[in-house]
Amino acid sequence: MPNTVLIGAQWGDEGKGKVVDVLARDADVVVRYQGGSNAGHTLEIGSERFVLHLVPSGVLYPEKLCIIGNGVVVDPLELKSEIEALMARGISLEGRFWVSDRAHAVLPYHRRQDAAREQRARPGQRLGTTQRGIGPAYADKAHRTGLRMGEFCRPGWEAKVQMRAEESGCIDGAEMVATLREAAAFLAPFIGDTTARLHEEWRRGRTILFEGAQGTMLDVDHGTYPFVTSSNATAGGASTGTGLPPRAIERVVGVIKCYTTRVGEGPFPTELKDETGDLLRRRGREFGATTGRPRRCGWFDAVVARYAAAVNGVDYWALTKLDVLDECETIRVCVAYECDGRRLDRVPADAETLARCQPVYEEFPGWKTCTSGVRQYEDLPRPARAYVDVLCRLTGVPLGLLSVGPDRASTFRLAI
């Protein structure tokens, strides 16, 4: 397998965890490069269900090297409990899991700042964050006042943490040190120079899978700003977030659902606030893996998908959740927008303009057959295959993988 970046092509929750799990089989190293515990990657393996927030999804294969890169913001308390939960289920991380010493820590006051900002926000300015402290942690990084994991686990970290807490004005320094003490000791053996380690693996010709979190439309630069997360969820982030150069990346796989969802606030042109939206939510089990919030649901937006294909340089789609559409009589796909009397073929940069965009739909026949038990692509009903072809044609990206259910057996690997 070529070194592959896997990104979300919509607003997150495209099913990346499951696709990483499939591709990780052929990789030697799986590395997360951005985001933090705002992510929630759900994996179903046999009768077992795992939700991972920080640890790369490749961890479920016993022999893979798993890395949290420098671009991730790491909540030490969350990471400790995630590792413990994995260990309790018999999954060992010893000797094969590393956290970058350059990754920034999410400290308890970041969570408080995140929640306080959301509470204070005026109508229309609320972002609907996951309240995991992501924005404030990245803000401290950009402000050059953040604490990196390398420092955090060296002697003397207590004084630094105490100073940060006092500067934040929202938490007692001694209390924060006490809260973090156990996590610091627990995580210390996992922290190291992952940039050097990744370069070594690359030089040795080992296959690297870059696991993106969130999605293109939540990217801080390319998404629906300000209704975005605070990191580069697009393929470019894979380089800055790991220290491997762009030429280490040989292929980009875009994970995309056969319809669209979004959690939190912000424009969403194809959103369905009717019973079809409810049907997608129910059939797709569209409730946040991190916050439990119901996801907003809508039709596939080919304008967004084309934009994601361009920004990330997507080589193949991994198309997920086709089975969710099984009960639909007809299926709509947004092929363009109409805004202020003009037709738009591209996603506008401005969120206010996007909020005024009306979708221009094309309609396709549904298949009204259960596809979740199908085990070969060729056995899918003809209209289902025709729908998949339409999505690929409208976006100019070939199909690499298709899934019709949550487990490993419902995934067809076609070209990747």
Residues interacting with ligand IMP, by CB under 6 A? 12-13, 38-40, 127-130, 132, 134-135, 213-214, 218, 229-230, 263-264
Nearest distance, CB of residue 228 and ligand IMP, angstroms? 6
DSSP 11-51: SS-SSHHHHHHHHHTT-SEEEE-SB-TT--EEEEETTEEEE
CA distance 115 to 126: 11
CA distance 68 to 37: 12
Nearest distance, CB of residue 230 and ligand IMP, angstroms? 6
Nearest distance, CB of residue 283 and ligand IMP, angstroms? 19
DSSP conformational letter for 130: -
The residue from 13, 21, 75, 114 that is catalytic is 13
Q: Is 41 a residue of the active site?
A: yes
Using the minimum distance from each CB to ligand IMP, give the nearer residue, 14 or 323. 14
Using the minimum distance from each CB to ligand IMP, give the nearer residue, 116 or 188. 116
Q: What are phi and psi of 140, to 5 degrees?
A: -60, -40
The residue from 21, 41, 75, 114 that is catalytic is 41
Using the minimum distance from each CB to ligand IMP, give the nearer residue, 39 or 238. 39
Q: Tell me the HSE value of 70 on the side-chain side, using a 13 A CA sphere.
A: 17
DSSP 163-212: HHHHHHTSS-HHHHHHHHHHHHHHHGGGEE-HHHHHHHHHHTT--EEEE-
Rg (alpha carbons) of the chain, rounded to whole number: 21
Distances (CA, A) of 34 to 20, 49, 69, 254, 261: 15, 24, 7, 16, 21
Nearest distance, CB of residue 281 and ligand IMP, angstroms? 14
CA distance 128 to 296: 12
Residue nearest to ligand IMP (CB): 264
Nearest distance, CB of residue 362 and ligand IMP, angstroms? 27
Using the minimum distance from each CB to ligand IMP, give the nearer residue, 4 or 34. 34
Residue type for position 50: F
Nearest distance, CB of residue 28 and ligand IMP, angstroms? 26
CB 256 within 8 A of CB 318: yes
Using the minimum distance from each CB to ligand IMP, give the nearer residue, 288 or 383. 288
Residues belonging to the active site:
13, 41
